[in-house]
Amino acid sequence: MTSTGQDSTTNRQRRSRHNPHSPSHNSSVISKRGVKKGAVPRSSPSLAEVKKKGRMKKLSQAAEQDLIMGLQELDLNLEPKALSGTGLVFEEQLNEFHCLWDDSFPECPERLHAIKEQLTQEGLLDRCISFQARSAKKEELMLVHSLEYIDLMETTQYMNEAELRILANTYDSVYLHPNSYTCACLASGSVLRLVDAVLGAKVRNGMAVIRPPGHHAQHNLMDGYCMFNHVAVAARYAQQKHDIQRVLIVDWDVHHGQGTQFTFDQDPSVLYFSIHRYEHGQFWPHLKASNWSATGFGRGQGYNINVPWNQVGMRDADYIAAFLRILLPVALEFQPQLVLVAAGYDALQGDPKGKMAATPAGFAQLTHMLMGLAGGKLILSLEGGYNYRSLAEGVSASLHTLLGDPCPMLESPGAPCLSARTSISCTLVALKPFWEVLMQSAETLEEDCVEKDKEEGPWEPPVPQIMAWPMLCARTGLIYDRRMMNHYNLWDNHHPEMPQRISRIMCHLEGLGLTERCLTLPARPATDAELLTCHRWGWNHLTAHQCSSHASSAEYIARLRATENMKTRELHREGANFDSIYICPSTFTCAQLATGAVCRLVEAVLAGEVLNGTAVVRPPGHHAEWDAACGFCFFNSVAVAARHAQAISGHALRILIVDWDIHHGNGTQHIFEDDPSVLYMSLHRYDHGTFFPMGNEGASSQIGQAPGVGFTVNVAWNGPRMGDPDYLAAWHRLVLPIAYEFNPELVLVSAGFDAAQGDPLGGCQVSPEGYAHLTHLLMGLANGRIILILEGGYNLTSISESMAACTRTLLGDPPPLLGPLRPPLSGALASISETVHVHRRYWRSLRIRKVEDKEEEPSNSGLVTKKEPQPANPGSAKGMARPEENILEAGMGKATSASPVEESIPGQAKSEIATVELAKDKSLEVATGGAMLDQTTSEGPVGHTKLASCTDSQTPPSSPVQGTTPYIFPRNLIESLRTLELSNKTQAPDSQTPEEKLLGEAAGGQDLDDSKLMGFGDTDEATFYAVTPLPWCPHLTAVCPIPAAGLDVTQPCQDCGSLQENWVCLSCYQVCCGRYINAHMIQHHEDLGHPLVLSFVDLSTWCYHCQAYVHHQALLDVKNLAHQNKFGEDMPRPH
């Protein structure tokens, strides 16, 4: 497609969907033109309109009042309202049973007494929404248990002590009391009560503080203090009553929940994850089925996940690593609609059963991670925990987190131990055949580049942590100042770094009611002293670039200040002295205000005035060097804010800077590259050094300078199209493991949104929902002290929606549900692996080993062999322990031709190969507006997904998505035809003005040759691109009837007479040239507000308001007429 100028133009100059006629430029520019941008000229009202208004005034008073009341009752806010509130079931009646023959039995009423005392002391009972417990009905219990077993348990109400003891001794590790049955029914019903409340939208999440526990109970068997399996019953109940399709059960009790596993091990609708003490089978329940090799049977294979701990003393870092590397990636692919937690707290330090070293703060972290799933629909059900103090503190920590309180900082998180990393690696190998996201998850360690792990010494219990929960007047601070809009480009009204970037964000936040929920803080300018903490000579070891500079930073600040009094020509000349910079008289003031605003927000967070915050500021800052403006940036706001935080805290505060702007933050990296107190992590497009800011500064090999070696971490994307799955994979595998090991005291985010969908510079596909999830995961760090500072982002709609999503998350709303996620691109995984490889020597949390695919044989001495349930399909049990290394291969981006793809596709999917071949068919050009499909890009979605193939002669593993055919992963071949939008860099460089070429450097620095774009390059295989148009847009009503004179595709631009790349307005049918000629169609749109235009080059239709191409039935007539005029025949219609 050649006529992409309109796309790139409107990507730079967006108009609000809510207010499409709002002004799009700086007011000073508008006044010069004398025309208000976007205003639609009004004609005098006709006689008919006047009469119509007169009739409307004659409405009766009653009818008018009814109309007003009706309108008032309408909910015009289309945004979903976030649920609030945490449900709690705490029933005193559950203490009315105990062991009659052993007063020292650990499962006793004192457990709940200790919990209630702790919750009362911390005021949590009053903060929760209490729900009355109810008894589970027999038919509800029968969703999991047999009627005969339930009836037997019911008879225990009438047994004497001797009879109860005899019956209890037939089971393993249980006791019975006349009230056991009543309390067990009440415990199960309590969880069901919360299921109704959460799925009925009465509360966001909840916790059931109950006993007896339940996760060991089986279909017709008591076991391990448990009579009825509460979470299993709750899962089936949610599916039956609330039509929930997918349930995630997380079991973090120190004992394996074998009862829950046996209930669902053949069911792909329930994903069961258990992390427990195993010790090669030596720890109760002594089952081989508790090992990592037990992944489920039949259609449920892959849906059972065990992470077995093979030593005592496991710490928070071990649990967090298992969640990050296994649970969260798989859960996001599974996409649960409800999360249930078998919340045992016997893995806490001091528990006599577990002998582990986890802390309440660690369980707060685990709870927080789970709150990002299923739209926040999370229910915790108490299981074990037998140290009263640690149990009470663990429940309290989880409840605090459910209520939205920040996670306490971990005292000494460190990195996962060698034994934990081994267990995690074994589980990854076992699960690899079943989950696309794990296909490339563990890298082999090279002995020559990583120091060998030393075996940990004997475990010593750490000093118990004193929990502290901050008392805050407000949760989220918001800082913004309209004066920052006074910085604008005097020579290019379409420059992407425009004033409307921040005003559109604020309008969107106000429209969603988010500003009212935030504490608005006044901005202030940064002082020279604050600026000089980063912008001065000698702060850090100077790079070659810095040494080549002829001015000190103090002179640089004075130089910028002097621009306030420069004339226009002098400003232009001064801006040309820097890379990708424009300067106006207000630039210095705006840059000073932006930096000072971030410093003010840092002060509010560190003083406890707010927990976290958002800074809607411009100009951006992360490219600014210590002595030079660069890439739209003048002062490095994030860097200055970090130094300001350390200054006011009085010590070298550990600060994590996460930079997710699509461009590498070269300035921030240089300022901190020798400072181990600041960990800088950047995820950016690098494109082998050809993407702005160019060069090797953003390469993964850049790791900092002594003593800051290892504290600069670059994830360098080498191409476009990176989206939610790629960023989440980086978060799970790299960013968060290092961040938890670093344990920051403050998190600053250089929040550029130019990796968002639709951004004209980034060419990537991160969604607002994706940004919300990234924010949520970072909020577990630094006691929740996190600040988002706006950097780039040049699609006004994308940055507004993305910042709103992040702000909602900071305010405590659960991250929105993500759509079905494709696997991470092979190029993304290669970039992540490259950075992991570089940084393994510095961060132990990255040393996840790929282990040999061999199951450990537990010692069988002294094993308990009571009534282990046999799988329903004995034949499949033999193979359950050995996931073959090469069972399945997923297409993680191996560039292959169409024929190898065809060979790897099972018979039932071969018919879909024809779809791939459509890339060469002209009929597809019509469907996509004349664009072609990419057949050569290594990560291209068309023709490059090597589908799963089964090499095992036995029954192949099932797909981990219910209802899919075995052998095939959840994403099928048809979905791979979704194609990519063209970015600005695909324009012909010859048509660019000098200013546009400079802008192009900031956008990526390389242009694609037109011949390659159209498939006529001198390479062996042509490269094609495609755009997926919208099937409908709300502005189609603006299309007017075709004039009687018809269309003339050879008609020149009415303003300049150009014959190249002309467009016709579908409202008034005036013809104007496109962006890379003289941009008269853009001016036409801005003056009149007409939304839809048709390209005379490729007959595509562009909507300015939707910022997208559109292909709809209402456009076929005008397209067909243009096709007849251009080619002399009707347009071919797709079948």
For the annotated catalytic residues, the residue numbers are 216, 623
Q: Which residue in this structure is represented by tokens 């998180």?
A: 413
DSSP 3-state of 378: strand
User: Angle between the 587-606 and 637-649 helix axes, to the nearest 10 degrees?
Assistant: 40
Calculate Rg over the CA atoms of the chain: 32
Would you call the peptide bond into 308 cis, given omega within 30 degrees of 0 as the criterion? no
436 with 969: CB under 8 angstroms?
yes
686 with 642: CB under 8 angstroms?
no
User: Angle between the 110-121 and 388-402 helix axes, to the nearest 10 degrees?
Assistant: 50
The CA distance from 622 to 639, in Å, is 8
Is the torsion defined by CA of 782, 784, 787, 792 positive or negative? positive
Burial class (CB in 10 A: 0-12, 13-18, 19+), 152: middle
CA-wise closest residue to 947 among 902, 908, 1005, 996: 902
207 with 185: CB under 8 angstroms?
no
Between strands 304-309 and 338-343, the pairing is unpaired
Q: Which residue in this structure is represented by tokens 């937690």?
A: 341
What phi and psi values does residue 23 have, to the nearest 5 degrees?
Answer: -60, 140
| Interior/surface letters 511-538, b for 16+ CB within 10 angstroms, e for the rest | bbebbebbbebebbbbeeebbbbbbbbe
**CA atoms in the 13 A half-sphere facing the CB of 901:** 27
Give the tokens for residue 273.
């994850």
330, 715, 763 from 722: Cα distances, Å: 19, 12, 8
Is the torsion defined by CA of 1059, 1062, 1064, 1065 positive or negative? negative
What phi and psi values does residue 226 have, to the nearest 5 degrees?
Answer: -110, 135
The CA distance from 1120 to 719, in Å, is 37
- One-letter amino acid identity for 850? K
Is the torsion defined by CA of 676, 680, 681, 684 positive or negative? negative
997, 1043, 1052 from 653: Cα distances, Å: 42, 69, 63
CA 213 from chain centre, in angstroms, equals: 34
522 with 604: CB under 8 angstroms?
no
DSSP 3-state of 1030: strand
Q: Given its phi and psi angles, is residue 1096 left (phi above 0), alpha (psi -120 to 50 degrees) or beta?
A: alpha
Burial class (CB in 10 A: 0-12, 13-18, 19+), 455: exposed
The CA distance from 913 to 899, in Å, is 9
**CA atoms in the 13 A half-sphere facing the CB of 718:** 18
1012 with 1023: CB under 8 angstroms?
yes
Q: Given its phi and psi angles, is residue 472 left (phi above 0), alpha (psi -120 to 50 degrees) or beta?
A: beta
732 with 715: CB under 8 angstroms?
no
